[in-house]
Chains A and B, each alone.
Chain A
Amino acid sequence: QKEVEQDPGPLSVPEGAIVSLNCTYSNSAFQYFMWYRQYSRKGPELLMYTYSSGNKEDGRFTAQVDKSSKYISLFIRDSQPSDSATYLCAPSNSGYALNFGKGTSLLVTP
């Protein structure tokens, strides 16, 4: 079993929709949970960073961690075409990302 599982999509939604992106992980030692966004032909950029369980909100983005079920989510409200990208989850037991999901490709259509 891979340490991090993520549905690759692609996921296509209309502009304004609420998007839910999810990952599961197997290592209960993971305490840091990161989401990266990667545009085509670019390197990943850190979008959200949470520690331990709970929710964290940043503008239209909300990251949610459920350590009991080893399940992490990223919600995007009022999605925009500029949100079209690949989203990678990266749980970690240190502060930096060693284990990434394969990424979910998101397309937001106008």
Chain B
Amino acid sequence: KAGVTQTPRYLIKTRGQQVTLSCSPISGHRSVSWYQQTPGQGLQFLFEYFSETQRNKGNFPGRFSGRQFSNSRSEMNVSTLELGDSALYLCASKPRGSTDTQYFGPGTRLTVL
């Protein structure tokens, strides 16, 4: 079974731009979560989507948004990029329940100049 895939793997943007990252979960998984990982703050939860609805949200500003499509694929968008948004953005999927094991993708490395 194919794992979680994320595109693109690397991205360079400038301040003020916006960016869209994509995540394809493992086939059959309906829950997709997004995380931001930085050396200073570690791994932080952004939000979770389940059946196209946001089920949980972390403590990030409204510039960070996401959505999930009917095929469970998910996108996250960051508007008005700031230097501090430079990070590894990870997507994780799981079948459905809160106690299901989640599987992470390799991440998208975003650099904001």
Chain A residues in the interface with B (C-beta under 8 A): 32, 41-46, 49, 88, 94-103
Q: How many A-B residue pairs have CB under 8 A?
A: 49
* CA gap between A96 and B58 in the complex, in Å: 13
The residue from B48, B98, B100, B107 contacting A43, defined by CB atoms under 8 A apart = B107
Query: Chain A: interface secondary structure?
Result: loop
The reply to whether the CB of B62 lies closer than 8 angstroms to some CB of chain A is: no
Point out residues on B near A: beta carbons under 8 Å: 4, 33, 41-45, 48, 56, 58, 90, 92, 94, 97-107
Residues of A near B44 (CB, < 8 A) are: 100
> Is B42 a contact of A103 with CB atoms below 8 Å?
yes
Q: Give the top 10 A-B pairs by smallest Cβ distance, nearest first.
A: A95-B99, A43-B104, A102-B42, A100-B43, A95-B98, A98-B45, A94-B98, A44-B104, A43-B105, A43-B106
- In the complex the two chains form, what is the Cα distance from A41 to B90 in whole Å? 11
Nearest Cβ distance between residue A1 and chain B, in whole angstroms? Answer: 15
* A96-B104 CB under 8 A given contacts A43-B4, A43-B90, A101-B42: no
Q: Which residue of B lies closest to A100 (CB)?
A: B43
Which of chain A's residues has its CB closest to B107's CB? Answer: A43
Q: Tell which of B45, B90, B97 touches A95, judged by Cβ atoms closer than 8 Å.
A: B97
Query: Residues of A contacting B99 with CB < 8 Å?
Result: 32, 94-96
The CA of A48 and the CA of B94, in the complex, are separated in Å by 16
CA distance A95 to B33 in the complex (A): 13
Q: Are B42 and A49 in contact (CB under 8 A)?
A: no
List, in ascending order, chain B residues with CB within 8 A of A95's CB.
97-100
Are A44 and B90 within 8 A (Cβ)? yes
A43 to B23, alpha carbons, bound, how many Å? 13
